[in-house]
Amino acid sequence: MNLSEYDWPRPPGFSPFEHQKATAEFLISYPKAFCFNEQGTGKTASVIWAVDYLMKLGVVKRVLVVCPLSIMHSAWQADLFKFALHRTVAVAYGSAKKRKQIIGGNAEFIIVNFDGVDIIKEEVIAGGFDLIVVDEASAYKNSRTVRWKTLRDVCKHVKGLWMLTGTPAAQSPVDAYGLAKLVSPTRVPKFFSEFRDQVMTKVSEHRWLPRPVAKSIVHSVLQPAIRFEKKQCLDLPPVTFMDREAPLSPQQSKFYKQLAKQMLIEAAGEDVTAVNAAVQINKLLQIACGSVYTDTGEVVDFDASTRLNVVKEVIDESSNKVLVFIPFAHTIELVNKFLTKNGVTCEVISGSVSVHNRADIVQRFQKAEHPKVLIIQPQAASHGLTLTAADTIIWYAPCTSVETYLQANARIDRPGQVNPMTVVHIYGSPVEERMYKLLRTNISNHNGIIDLYRQEILSAEEETA
């Protein structure tokens, strides 16, 4: 099949990138395959074009997209609306009853989060799906999990499986086993222990090291596969901006709404200043981040596990080093503990770190293998530092200054940077989503903050009406 002859469905003036066309052409050639293109290279568009082509031929009628919760709407649904507006799409999220109703509907594309598949397992098996697409597929590297076994059972009833990840075996060669067992099971031994012994050597009771042949074995079992790195894609923009949704926990949502209603009461009959508006907006941001400073200076922690997991997802999918910008000091401690606990090497630059120590941290980050991640309070390091060892920035939450935002992003966009860059915005509340838009469009602080404040007041007023 020659995809160059196909009339691609696309918005006026849009020209598909060459690496995306090549990826789509590869995928339609294999019912089961891997796409290892790096984050930010447009994998979703490639898949959508490939599926649309197969649907036009009548080879595929229905597709299940399995992905992290954070990109169900912001990436997959948004890209389907952008690149395949003529196709029907539904997001299977919510109660079990709602998910099952959506699966039982007629949508051509169904999007579901990883752990949601188990809830609707029987409905998916009976749902007439021809193809399953798994995004950020490294979540299925462990063949001993319920998540993996559920996908295995579902795949027995589906002809096609495309697994997408930019980091198929980033932490260990054994990570390849779970992925290969789903796509190309005949390429790996029946038992995990046998594969582990092929690629790893036991050097002590709890320590294993990769064998010299590990890379070639991993390469051979993870086939058929295609990979494009960002630096190979000359038609990529220098900086790609991505949004990741991290819904507030019920606890966070409750206090967020309470504070918004309190703002409504306090604003009645008073002129709103930029200073007062900024204080209130900061409190909303703190709730979304997971830690709020009370009027007495104490810290109240909330369940922010969803947001923390999104940070880990982005880091896991990043081939190079990562900067994480966090506006609030106590939240920095929260994220640092979480990442360290999950085996990610981190360093912190905040207002409490001395200039001398900052220089040492930057030197290690730029020159050494570790740390993988630098957690930064943007006000403390938005000027002067060169951090080009990273090509990915994660905004854990937005800052309230356009200048700080632009300067912070410039830490990786400097002479010495050899890779296209990715900036990821994490949001879970309306104020964060709107604030990122203001920062991207360089709206002045004074007018922007007051407008955000007034929008939150209006939202609270509508809820109480």
pLDDT at 274 over 90: no
Query: Which is more confidently placed, 60 or 329?
Result: 60
Q: Which residue has the higher pLDDT, 47 or 253?
A: 47
Across residues 21-30, what is the average pLDDT?
A: 92
pLDDT attached to residue 451: 63
- pLDDT over 90, % of the chain: 60
Low-confidence winner among 32-36, 289-293, 449-453 (lowest mean pLDDT)? 449-453
Give the Cα separation of 392 and 236 in Å (integer): 15
What's the confidence (pLDDT) of residue 265? 42
Q: What is the mean pLDDT of residues 286-311?
A: 84
Residues with Cβ < 8 Å from 151, sequence gap 6 or more? Answer: 66, 117, 132, 134, 140, 182
- Average pLDDT of the segment spanning 126-149: 96
Q: Is the model's pLDDT at 5 over the cut of 60? A: no
Taking only Cα atoms into account, the Rg of the chain, rounded to an integer number of angstroms, comes to: 23
* Percent share of the chain, pLDDT over 70: 85
| Residues 175-214 as b or e (16 or more Cβ within 10 Å = b) | bbbbbbbbbbeeebeeebeebbebbbeeeeeeebebeeeb
Pick the CATH number of 239-247+301-461 from 3.40.225.10, 3.40.50.300, 3.10.20.30, 3.40.50.720: 3.40.50.300
Work out the end-to-end distance of the chain between its first and last CA atoms, rounded to an integer number of angstroms. Answer: 58
pLDDT of the residue at 14: 39
Sorting pLDDT into bands at 50, 70 and 90, what band is 351?
confident
**pLDDT for residue 383 is more than 70:** no
Listed range (18-27, 120-129, 193-202, 359-368) with the worst mean pLDDT: 18-27
Rounded CA separation 5/22 (Å):
13
- CB-CB contact of 22 with 45 (8 Å): no
Mean pLDDT of 10-35: 77
pLDDT for 3 equals 39
Using the predicted structure, report yes or no on whether residue 409 has a pLDDT greater than 70: yes
Pairwise pLDDT comparison (140 vs 228), residue with the higher score = 140
Mean pLDDT (whole number) for 409-423: 89
User: pLDDT of 102-122, one tens digit each?
Assistant: 999 999 999 999 999 999 999
Question: pLDDT confidence of 61, banded at 50, 70, 90?
Answer: very high
Q: Write down the pLDDT at residue 19.
A: 84
Residue 77 vs residues 45, 87, 91, 165: alpha-carbon distances, Å: 11, 11, 8, 18
Domain ranges of the chain: 3-232, 239-247+301-461
pLDDT at 277: 63
Q: What is the pLDDT of residue 284?
A: 84
pLDDT of residue 444: 47
Q: Residue 269 has what pLDDT? A: 46
Report how far residue 64's alpha carbon sits from residue 108's, in angstroms, rounded to the nearest whole number: 8
- Give every CB contact of residue 329 below 8 A, 6+ residues apart in sequence: 350, 351, 352, 377
Query: pLDDT confidence of 348, banded at 50, 70, 90?
Result: very high
Instruction: Say if residue 463's pLDDT is above 60.
Output: no
What confidence category does residue 271 fall into, taking pLDDT thresholds of 50, 70 and 90? very low
For 132, phi then psi, to 5°, come to -115, 130
In this predicted structure, the answer to whether residue 4 has a pLDDT above a threshold of 50 is no
User: Residue 419 and residue 390: Cα distance in Å, rounded?
Assistant: 9
Longest distance between any two alpha carbons in the chain, whole Å: 73
* pLDDT for 49: 94
Averaged confidence pLDDT in the chain = 86
Dist CA 152 CA 437 (whole Å) = 40
Provide the pLDDT confidence category of residue 459 given band limits of 50, 70 and 90.
low
Between these two residues, 20 and 446, which has the higher pLDDT value?
A: 20
Q: Which among 274-283, 396-405, 438-447 has the top mean pLDDT? A: 396-405
pLDDT for the residue 70: 92
Q: Rounded mean pLDDT of 22-26?
A: 92
Rounded to an integer, what distance in angstroms lies between the CA atom of residue 86 and that of residue 336? Answer: 44
Total number of residues shown for the chain: 465
Give whole-number Cα distances, 429 to 251, 254, 288, 432, 451, in Å: 13, 12, 7, 5, 16
In words, the CATH class of domain 3-232 is alpha beta
Give the tokens for residue 241: 């901006």
Q: What is the mean pLDDT of residues 50-60?
A: 95
304-316 residue pLDDT tens: 999 999 999 999 9
Whether the predicted pLDDT of 273 surpasses 50 = no
Q: Is there a common fold for 3-232 and 239-247+301-461?
A: yes
Q: What pLDDT does residue 2 have? A: 39
